[in-house]
Amino acid sequence: MPATFHVLTTGYANDRVAGTVSLLTEGHTVAVVDPGMVADRRLILDPLAELGFAPGEVTDVVFSHHHPDHTLNAALFPEARFHDHMAIYRDDIWEDRDADGYALSPSIALMATPGHTAEDISTLAATDQGLVVLTHLWWAAEGPADDPFAPDRDRLRAARERVLALGPALIVPGHGAPFAPSPATPV
């Protein structure tokens, strides 16, 4: 059974900043990706409710990286396990594991994609629309081509190439609307 994908709120980065917050579901897995800064928490909670989910039903929260604009609202989901590049956290339990290849469900997995930070991960979801990749390798469809926070431009390029080689139908960037990759997609 493929995963379903929804954007709860579309992010932006200009004179103000908000992260793109997404929902992935498959079977018993209800995962929120990057519940960070938004203008109002209702921009996360209202779309979640419209899709039929209460915050306590969220089973997993994935952080693409540890900047506040992608993590600030994690506490909205009291029953979730929290995933980053190196571990799973729940209550007072810290379970070390490498995120690369870790599966949240049969159709939702994590992939190490250092680029925006050295610890970035991307979430891969096999959906009816094709592969959807939720990642901060791109801020938005247009880039920026040179991420001003990337500590290593070569690692960023390599991670972008690795994601594009998967042939995703959609990329969900850190601060913008989902986009279909094209030859114009910055590498």
Strands 170-172 and 130-134, bridge-based pairing: parallel
Structure tokens at 37: 């800064």
Q: How far apart are CA 45 and CA 61, in angstroms?
A: 14
Q: How far apart are CA 41 and CA 35, in angstroms?
A: 9
pLDDT at 187 over 90: yes
Decide which of 3.40.50.150, 3.90.550.10, 1.10.300.10, 3.60.15.10 is the CATH code for 4-172.
3.60.15.10
pLDDT at 26 over 90: yes
pLDDT digits (tens, 9 = 90+) for 120-179: 999 999 999 999 999 999 999 988 999 999 999 999 999 999 999 999 999 999 999 999
Q: How far apart are CA 113 and CA 140, in angstroms?
A: 16
Compute the mean pLDDT over every residue in the chain, rounded to the nearest whole number: 97
What is the structure's pLDDT at 143? 81
Which residues face 122 on adjacent strands? Answer: 111
Domain ranges within the chain, ordered by starting residue: 4-172
Q: Where does the pLDDT of residue 16 fall: very low under 50, low under 70, confident under 90, or very high at 90 and above?
A: very high
Is pTM beyond 0.95? Reply is yes
pLDDT at 60 over 90: yes
pLDDT digits (tens, 9 = 90+) for 105-122: 999 999 999 999 999 999
Q: Where does the pLDDT of residue 68 fall: very low under 50, low under 70, confident under 90, or very high at 90 and above?
A: very high
User: Can you tell me the mean pLDDT for 46-62?
Assistant: 98
What is the structure's pLDDT at 139? 97
